[in-house]
């Protein structure tokens, strides 16, 4: 059948098909998995390795002691790393996940492969501690779990014998409904600047990691920034209501939600969150939509597959069982959405199958940033020659243009964005970071953009809290930022500081 004949058939009452939707959805999910595992390949060892900032071995011992045994720990936080968590094991799991993700991107997948990816990534999330404490980690797990049941068990072809089960398509719509509506309601309840439409006066400057276009957005006319908030309400409060609506309304809702995510992608660096949120939104679109924008030869492949499709009763029964499970597990998250005490980014079951979501319920009015600095001078006073450790994403130098790093995630940078709004007591691992900088630990220094002390470690390290704000575009000095000193976040410390050494030993981070 041609795409024209397909349209005519649908006009006669034939239900829409989702062969192309499944193909596009799984390819994008595979790309997100690949990026997530690539981040693990590059960062997991310095973050949670044996000599990392928050060693996984120490964490698993604490969990096991708290719950009574390793088996109890595994049941509460399922992870392959309960069976071995050496640096080699961490990297092997990350590489396996990356390679399998690339296979999915290439167009080949089945339920078994997607189940392996899901469990491997869950293994990292459950032992990643605060490095993996973001909402998009459990969102990827929920999305990845549903994707398992879109495919046959073993058939890896791009267009296998069996059609995507409609109950799973509906579950993806339920996911995007909860993601978007939860994010909208947390904003309505969370901060006055959302309710008076001034949130974007601050957001682009104060978001975790600005991008190259963030300053341009920040200095847009105020009326345009207010319109941006109104579009936010359209995408997060209105569009989700039509995710289960008639075909045309559902298509419009899906496009609005996708365009909203694309706008967030170009205006900042929110990891792979926005790309991931597009995945369930794709379930609002059927093959009739895709046939208008994809190459005709590719559309014909899907039509041939649909014409020759067979019914798989085991696959359909499994889809209904999963639907029943998700329905039961959705009770608490659904009640949370309508609750005045709504919480966001929370899991209600050990496998993270159904969760609550939400982002930027409150918006900061100023940008604070902790900068680590080192010196070789004997006297660590303010007059010493302090050299900054540049982050890969967060601003440090005033003439430093914000980079584009998303969908890649710089996990140290993200945690330091949060830490800048708190104290070192709430982020004690920063003292471990100071210790490792004092010893030029190559893996830890590699989390920064460069090493200002490449030949020998500095004598002292300190952390200084600054307030940053965007410089006006096209200023004479060519600056991207202005900044002012706020306070000393960590006073100067040396490698032979007895208090530092004793503290690290007491935590288990033995120098």
CA distances (Å), 321 to each of 14, 317, 325, 349, 351, in order? 26, 6, 6, 17, 16
- The per-residue pLDDT for 510 is 76
Alpha helices for 293-368 (secondary structure H): 296-307, 313-329, 331-338
- The per-residue pLDDT for 10 is 47
- The per-residue pLDDT for 14 is 73
pLDDT tens for each residue of 316-332: 999 999 999 999 999 99
pLDDT at 4 over 60: no
Q: Name the maximum alpha-carbon separation found in the chain.
A: 84
Rounded Cα gap, residues 33 and 487, in angstroms = 40
Burial of 472 (0-12, 13-18, 19+ CB in 10 A): exposed
Of 464, 392, 65, the closest CA to residue 208 belongs to 392
Q: Please, what is the angle between helix 247-267 and helix 222-233, to 10°? A: 140
DSSP category for residue 243? T
Average pLDDT estimate for 399-413:
97
Rounded Cα gap, residues 433 and 500, in angstroms = 11
369 and 452 Cβ atoms separated by less than 8 Å: no
Encode burial over 192-231: b for 16+ CB neighbours within 10 A, e otherwise. Answer: ebbeebbbbbbbbbbbbbbbeebbebbeeeeeebbebbee
Residue 1 pLDDT level (bands cut at 50, 70, 90) = very low
86 and 50 Cβ atoms separated by less than 8 Å: yes
Per-chain mean pLDDT for the chain: 95
pLDDT tens for each residue of 296-319: 999 999 999 999 999 999 999 999
Which DSSP string do the residues of 91-148 spell out, in sequence order? HHHHHHHHHHHHHHHTT---HHHHHHHHHHHHHHHHH-GGGG-SHHHHHHHHHHHHHH
Rounded Cα gap, residues 141 and 179, in angstroms = 14
In the numeric block, the tokens 């170009």 are attached to: 266
Least confident among 4-13, 236-245, 256-265, 392-401: 4-13
pLDDT above 70 coverage of the chain, percent: 97
Alpha helices for 211-246 (secondary structure H): 214-218, 222-233
Rounded Cα gap, residues 420 and 466, in angstroms = 9
Strand ranges of the sheet holding 481-493, from the earlier edge strand across to the other edge? 387-388, 367-375, 460-470, 481-493
**Number of Cβ atoms within 10 Å of the Cβ of 341:** 6
Pairing of strands 460-470, 367-375: antiparallel
Measured CA angle at 388 (ends 412, 44), to 5 deg: 20
pLDDT tens for each residue of 352-405: 999 999 888 899 999 999 999 999 999 999 999 999 999 999 999 999 999 999
- The per-residue pLDDT for 511 is 66
Average pLDDT estimate for 252-274:
97
pTM: 0.95
- The per-residue pLDDT for 359 is 84
Q: Which residues contact 204 (CB under 8 A, 6 or more apart)?
A: 210, 214, 215, 217, 218, 267, 268
- The per-residue pLDDT for 392 is 98
pLDDT at 13 over 70: no
pLDDT tens for each residue of 427-476: 999 999 999 999 999 999 999 999 999 999 999 999 999 999 999 999 99
Q: 1 or 137, which is more confident?
A: 137
Of 115, 152, 173, the closest CA to residue 316 belongs to 152
Least confident among 1-5, 63-67, 74-78, 332-336: 1-5
pLDDT tens for each residue of 188-202: 998 999 999 999 999
pLDDT at 3 over 60: no
173 and 326 Cβ atoms separated by less than 8 Å: no
Chain centre distance of CA 224: 27
- The per-residue pLDDT for 218 is 98
CA distances (Å), 487 to each of 7, 247, 371, 415, in order? 65, 56, 11, 19
Average pLDDT estimate for 398-417:
97
- The per-residue pLDDT for 361 is 87
Encode burial over 343-375: b for 16+ CB neighbours within 10 A, e otherwise. Answer: ebbbbeeebbbbbbbbbbbebbeebbbbbbbbb
326 and 353 Cβ atoms separated by less than 8 Å: yes
Of 90, 110, 91, 89, the closest CA to residue 30 belongs to 110
Q: Determine phi and psi for 374, rounding to 5 degrees.
A: -130, 160
């Amino acid at each position: 059948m041609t795409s024209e004949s397909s349209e005519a058939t649908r006009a006669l009452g034939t239900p829409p098909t989702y062969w192309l939707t499944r193909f596009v959805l799984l390819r994008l999910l595979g790309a997100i998995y690949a990026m997530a595992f690539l981040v693990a390949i590059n960062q997991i060892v310095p973050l949670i390795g044996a000599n990392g900032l928050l060693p996984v071995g120490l964490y698993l011992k604490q969990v096991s002691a708290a719950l009574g045994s390793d088996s109890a720990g595994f049941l509460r936080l399922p992870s392959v790393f309960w069976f071995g968590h050496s640096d080699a094991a961490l990297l092997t799991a990350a590489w396996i996940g990356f390679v399998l993700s690339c296979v999915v991107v290439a167009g080949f997948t089945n339920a078994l492969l997607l189940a392996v990816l899901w469990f491997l990534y869950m293994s990292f999330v459950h032992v990643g501690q605060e490095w993996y404490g973001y909402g998009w980690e459990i969102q990827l797990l929920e999305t990845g779990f549903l994707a398992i049941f879109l495919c046959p068990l073993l058939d890896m072809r791009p267009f296998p014998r069996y059609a995507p089960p409609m109950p799973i398509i509906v579950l993806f719509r339920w996911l995007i409904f909860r993601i978007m509506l939860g994010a909208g309601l947390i904003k309505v309840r969370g901060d006055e600047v959302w309710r008076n439409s001034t949130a974007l006066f601050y957001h682009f400057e104060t978001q975790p990691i600005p991008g190259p276009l963030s300053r341009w957005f920040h200095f847009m006319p105020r009326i345009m920034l207010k319109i941006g908030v109104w579009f936010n309400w359209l995408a997060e409060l209105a569009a989700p209501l039509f995710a289960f609506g008639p075909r045309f309304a559902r298509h419009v809702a899906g496009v609005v939600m996708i365009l909203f995510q694309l706008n967030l992608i170009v205006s900042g660096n929110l990891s792979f969150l926005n790309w991931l949120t597009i995945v369930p939104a794709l379930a609002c679109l059927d093959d009739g939509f895709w046939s208008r924008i994809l190459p005709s030869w590719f559309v014909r492949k899907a039509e041939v597959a649909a014409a020759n499709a067979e019914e798989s009763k085991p696959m359909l029964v499994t889809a209904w069982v999963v639907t029943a499970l998700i329905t039961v597990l959705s009770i608490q998250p659904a009640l949370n959405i309508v609750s005045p005490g709504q919480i966001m980014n929370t899991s209600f079951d050990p496998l993270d199958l159904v969760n609550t979501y939400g982002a930027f319920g409150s918006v900061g009015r100023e940008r604070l940033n902790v900068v680590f600095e080192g010196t070789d001078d004997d006297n660590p006073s303010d007059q010493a020659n302090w050299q900054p450790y540049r982050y890969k994403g967060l601003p440090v130098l005033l003439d430093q243009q914000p980079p584009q790093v998303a969908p890649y995630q710089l996990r140290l940078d993200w945690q330091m964005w949060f830490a800048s709004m708190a104290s070192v007591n709430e982020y004690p691992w920063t003292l471990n970071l100071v210790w490792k900088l004092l010893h030029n630990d190559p893996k830890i220094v590699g989390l920064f953009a460069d090493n200002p002390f490449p030949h020998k470690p500095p004598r002292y390290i300190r952390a200084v809290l600054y307030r940053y704000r965007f410089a006006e575009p096209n200023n004479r000095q060519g600056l991207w930022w202005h900044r002012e000193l706020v306070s000393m976040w960590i006073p100067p410390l040396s490698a032979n500081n007895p208090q530092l050494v004793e503290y690290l030993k007491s935590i288990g981070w033995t120098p």
